[in-house]
Amino acid sequence: MRAESTIRPTEVVADARALMDAEAGVLAVPFSPGDDDGAQVRLGAGGDTVSAALGLDLAVVLDRERAKARAGEIVSVPVFEAGRGAGSPDGEVDVTKVLLVGLGDRSPGAFRKAGAAVARAARGTERLATSVAVDADDASLRAFIEGAVLATYALGDYRGSAVPGEKRPLRTLVLTGAGDRSQAVTVAATIAKATWTARDLVHTPSNVKDPAWLAEQARGIGDAHRLDVRVRDEKALASEGFGGIVAVGAGSQRPPRLIAMRYEPKRARSPHVVLVGKGITYDSGGLSLKPREAMVPMKTDMSGGAVVMGVLSAVRELGVGVRVTGLVAAAENLPGATAQRPGDVIRQYDGTSVEVINTDAEGRLVLADAMAYAVAELEPTVLIDVATLTGAATIGLGRSHAALYSTSDGLAAALTAAGDSAGERLWRMPLVDDYRFALDSAIADIAHVETTKVGGGSITAALFLQRFARDVTWAHLDIAGTGRADSASGELVKGGTAFGVRALLYWLEAGAPLDEG
Ligand code: BES
Ligand code: MN
Ligand code: ZN
């Protein structure tokens, strides 16, 4: 079955020319809140030339519309006769529409919203040129592009025919006056594409994606981006002692996999970042079965793994200077006849025995194996896991902030800063010492969920994982809330967000710092 979206992301190009010469049928002109001279709003770069060339007064249009220049506000201006042939110097391209786009407070976040709004308004368009780059620094330009490429994400569909009236994403986004900005443009487009790749994996239904399928996708990414990919099948996992991954996968006829993707930069510097992703290709809860409504979105329970794969798909193109290994612990959590039972005791990769109390707390069992393996075999300097781990994270923080845990203040600060720049907000949560006893087991080294009620389900999950990081600098991202969006908003579409790809890539691109920098 199809491995990737049948819908192509918008292509982004930096262009040295001016807006009127860019051979585009749709033009996007920015506008900003007015200064204190009384003007409500102010037309941005290119506004006057476009007005003159098309015989429109765009400033008057904004005034009539009582436009406020909120970030992502769009005023759409259809162009009639005067636009004929105006979109190119030789008079061959018709300008049919001008989109006036509000830049709000002109922060990168506002530019991200503006990019998303332009892309939504430009669905079905072949080529759109915009002058926003002229008014944007590199951080804002990148945010605009990420917003524009990601807002129209779609997997394509499994329908026999297209939805009537549904329009494809803008095909080409031209950034005029940005001839010398191609570096920033390429970086942004690469990061957006990596997110797109991860979203494809998340949106794929679970009758198509099983652990073996996910491993095939990793091989494909490895081939395309010159990464070393190694996959352990169920036999290798059992014989090498990956007891958590084996136990979680035992209830499904589609066996588990551990996927390892390795990136070596040209001139490797010493740090080695290992990223671990939860790759539950479907989470029914296992014998501790979920209620039926709770099961519906659970094809997205491999989001952490998808994020890791998305990140690995971009590190070479971004020229990341540190070594990066991605591990995806992939299993399908089903209640088959051979499934693990509540009350079982299993052995993790590092020898820790774990009393399994609730088979629906499966994520930490597969992550623990992968983390322990990384610590024992890969000599990581930094270990970061990403997982849709607990409903409690969503209860605590909602859908806009991911829960971040770390044993290092510096790493926590650096990841938070990267997330802020990337438009993915992380909120640090405590690894509460006083709650550790809750994981005591009467029969094994540790239980995987609380045996005494302390609450804080996202925290106790993190405490369980912490044990397997040993003394390696570690961070944990619980993306259960942020991994899915209930509706389209900004650069997100309904469904999987692939939250984490951008924050991690911003952090890696900065050299994987251990302080705020
Ligand atoms: N995959 C779920 C967490 C989840 C829930 C992600 C909702 C996204 C949306 C995870 O495997 C799980 O079931 N966690 C349990 C843990 C509990 C049994 C200790 C939970 O959060 O209820
Ligand atoms: Mn579960
Ligand atoms: Zn799960």
176's tokens: 């005029």
List of residues 6+ apart from 201 with CB closer than 8 A: 209, 214, 217, 302, 305, 306, 309, 310
Q: Pick one of 3.90.1720.10, 3.40.630.10, 2.130.10.10, 3.40.30.10 as the CATH number of 191-509.
A: 3.40.630.10
The pLDDT mean for the chain works out to: 96
pLDDT band at 517 (very low <50, low <70, confident <90, very high): confident
pLDDT value, residue 1: 58
pLDDT value, residue 497: 98
Question: To test the ligand 1 pocket, which listed residue (340, 358, 360) has its Cβ within 8 A of the most ligand atoms?
Answer: 360
Q: What is the pLDDT of residues 313-371, one digit of tens each?
A: 999 999 999 999 999 999 999 999 999 999 999 999 999 999 999 999 999 999 999 99
Q: What is the pLDDT of residues 60-97, one digit of tens each?
A: 999 999 999 999 999 999 998 777 888 888 888 899 99
Tally: H helices and E strands in the chain: 15, 20
How many Cβ atoms are within 10 Å of 224's Cβ, its own excluded?
Answer: 11
pLDDT value, residue 516: 87
φ/ψ of 112, rounded to 5, equals: -65, -45
Residues belonging to the active site = 290, 364
Q: Is the pLDDT of residue 492 over 90?
A: yes
Q: At which residue do the structure tokens 């592009």 appear?
A: 145
- Name the helix (H) or strand (E) containing 291: none
Cα 97 from Cα 27, distance rounded (Å): 7
Question: To test the ligand 1 pocket, which listed residue (303, 364, 390, 464) has its Cβ within 8 A of the most ligand atoms?
Answer: 390
Angle between helices 409-422 and 501-509 (to 10 degrees): 110
Ligand 1 proximal residues by C-beta, below 6 Å: 283, 301, 358, 360-363, 388-392, 449, 457, 480
Topology of domain 11-179 in CATH is Leucine Aminopeptidase, subunit E; domain 1 (3.40.220)
Per domain, the residue ranges of the chain are: 11-179, 191-509
Q: What is the pLDDT of residues 112-162, one digit of tens each?
A: 999 999 999 999 999 999 999 998 999 999 999 999 999 999 998 777 777
Ligand nearest 448 Cα, by number? 1
221's tokens: 């990414």
- Residue owning the nearest CA to atom 13 of ligand 1: 360
Angle at 147 between CA 187 and CA 423, to 5 degrees: 80
pLDDT band at 404 (very low <50, low <70, confident <90, very high): very high
Q: What is the pLDDT of residues 259-299, one digit of tens each?
A: 999 999 987 667 999 999 999 999 999 999 999 999 999 99
Amino acid at 404: L
pLDDT value, residue 83: 78
Ligand 1 atom nearest 388 alpha carbon? 6
Q: Is the pLDDT of residue 3 over 70?
A: no
> Does the pTM of the predicted model rise above 0.95?
yes
Q: What is the pLDDT of residues 174-226, one digit of tens each?
A: 999 999 999 999 999 999 999 999 999 999 999 999 999 999 999 999 999 99
Farthest CA pair distance, the chain: 82
How many Cβ atoms are within 10 Å of 234's Cβ, its own excluded?
Answer: 20
